[in-house]
């Protein structure tokens, strides 16, 4: 799994766990819905850490909680 896929999967899982829609996350995080959709649908494959931090704030979790998953621990090497 690459970094983008891990971010996307984690965000989708958190949306499901918190029962948030894209719209609700946008309101809670002050991130435009279009930015969230771009991350989830592949248009933005390199979201900035500031954007991820805002999304975490909206979800009520820390950056450490966001990244502390097996997907991120087992990322493939990006530079070949």
Tokens of 54: 């805002």
Going from N- to C-terminal start, the domains of the chain cover 3-72
Give the fold, CATH level 3, of 3-72: 434 Repressor (Amino-terminal Domain) (1.10.260)
pLDDT tens, per residue, the chain with 80 residues: 889 999 999 999 999 999 999 999 999 999 999 999 999 998 988 899 999 999 999 999 999 999 999 989 888 777 77
**23 and 32 Cβ atoms separated by less than 8 Å:** no
Instruction: For residue 46, give the DSSP letter.
Output: S
Helix, strand, coil percent values for the chain (each to nearest 5) = 65, 0, 35
CA torsion, ordered 43, 25, 67, 17, to nearest 10 deg: -110
d(CA 42, CA 28): 22
């Amino acid at each position: 799994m690459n970094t983008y896929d891990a971010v996307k999967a984690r965000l989708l899982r958190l949306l499901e766990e918190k029962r948030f829609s894209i719209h609700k996350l946008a309101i809670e995080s002050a991130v435009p819905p279009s930015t969230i959709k771009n991350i989830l649908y592949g248009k933005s494959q390199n979201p900035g850490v500031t954007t991820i931090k805002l999304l975490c704030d909206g979800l009520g979790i820390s950056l450490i909680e966001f990244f502390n998953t097996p997907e991120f621990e087992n990322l493939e090497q990006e530079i070949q």
